[in-house]
A = this chain, B = another copy of it.
Amino acid sequence: MAEKMMGVVYHGKGDLRFEERDIPTILDPRDAIVRVGMSSICTSDFHIRNGAVPIAKPNTILGHEFAGEIVAVGDAVKKFKPGDRVVANVETFCGECFYCKRGYVNNCVEGGWYLGCRIDGCQTEYVRVPIADNGLIRIPENLDYEDVLMVSCILPSGYFGAELAEIHPGDTVAVIGCGPCGYTAMMCARLFGPARIIAIDRHDERGEFALKNGWADVFVNTKKEDPIEVVKRYTDGRGADSVIEMAGKDESFQLAWKLARPNGVVSLIAMYEEDQRLPLPSMYGKNLVFKTGGVDACKDQMLVDLIAGGKLNTRPLITHKMPLNDIMHGYEIFEKHLDGCIKVAITPYER
């Protein structure tokens, strides 16, 4: 193990630098040190860079999506040993508090979003993972890093959105936003047996990607058709049984509740930058349910099981792959959606 490593460090608003850092060591008996085998870049990394995440600490290595191999574990780690292949959970949680016991791990009294935000993350070569027994999931033998990389963040986010939406067999589900999390929401919505998933976006190529991969059954380009009319056409005039809102804009918020049939469920998983207007008088009697919030990533083991069983496949999301040496270029093509980029996989530094 060398003593230095390269990583993307956040130095304050607008200031990301790819630079040399010390390799981390065990600080707490529940820690594990993981050698990063594959990592990725998330929209949240831009939110930090833009200064929009108040809890983010300057001088921190970014990145919270990764898989790799354990190189060291603290004395209190029970489930893992060096050599184990693992994928990480974006959330750090104790597993024992009031919230964790109920599956609300992102409200853990001891945890939350730490990796790549408040402590060094994974856009580098080695990572210290706190409370490793909860923060890491073993990778089954028949899977490789590309199979499970999305389990860190966007697959559980999509699952969370789909689970909240209370989908039943035979339902019609509308998903607003054909970005990475919209896609994983569609895949996961499928697990609940709906009759159809209707994807909604403003870009044909994004919708067609969902159709081509079998994630959606119908695509509506809002610039060409009224999605409310399309959804009603498929539901005998009622509206969608469940709506998953992944776009996070004022228009998409208003569209979400209008798409839902009376007594339907609207799952608001997007991160909104503005307060929203809830027109309760206009929707009186429609008896809608709104579920708000960020991912509760407590189902990662189950998601890995489903990938291993061939029931979920996030590999098509990885459109680009490059070594850590080129990560700043990866930031650019991901941010600008260049070359059809959906997600970038970062492989180890090449010396």
Residues 264-296 of A, flagged 1 when their CB comes within 8 A of B and 0 if not, give: 000010011111111111111111111111101
A143 CB-CB contact with B under 8 Å? no
Which residue of chain B has its CB nearest to the CB of A307? B195
- The verdict on A287 contacting B107 (CB below 8 Å), with A275-B280, A276-B280 known, is yes
One of B96, B192, B275, B296 near A287 (C-beta < 8 A): B296
Is B217's CB under 8 angstroms from A192's CB?
no
A263 CB-CB contact with B under 8 Å? yes
Report the minimum CB–CB distance from A292 to chain B (whole Å): 5
Q: How far is the CA of A95 from the CA of B292 in the complex (A)?
A: 28
Which residue of chain B has its CB nearest to the CB of A162? B169
One of B188, B292, B311 near A288 (C-beta < 8 A): B292
How big is the A interface, by class?
A: 35 or more
Selecting from A4-12, A98-106, A203-211, A332-340, the interface stretch reads A98-106
Selecting from A17-25, A175-183, A298-306, A316-324, the interface stretch reads A298-306
A348 CB-CB contact with B under 8 Å? no
Is A106's CB under 8 angstroms from B278's CB?
no
- The verdict on A285 contacting B107 (CB below 8 Å), with A192-B192, A280-B268, A311-B195 known, is yes
A14 CB-CB contact with B under 8 Å? no
Q: How far is the CA of A167 from the CA of B309 in the complex (A)?
A: 15
- The verdict on A278 contacting B275 (CB below 8 Å), with A236-B98, A287-B104 known, is yes
Contacts of A272 in B (CB 8 A): 280-281, 284
Which residue of chain B has its CB nearest to the CB of A282? B275
- Which A residues from 176 to 219 make CB contacts under 8 A with B? 188, 190-196, 217
A residues whose Cβ falls under 8 Å from a Cβ of B? 78, 95-96, 98-99, 102, 104, 106-107, 112, 133, 159, 169-170, 188, 190-196, 217, 236, 238, 262-263, 268, 271-294, 296, 299, 302-303, 305-306, 308-311
A-B pairs with beta carbons under 8 Å apart, 10 shown: A99-B262, A104-B263, A169-B299, A169-B302, A192-B193, A195-B302, A195-B305, A195-B311, A286-B292, A289-B290
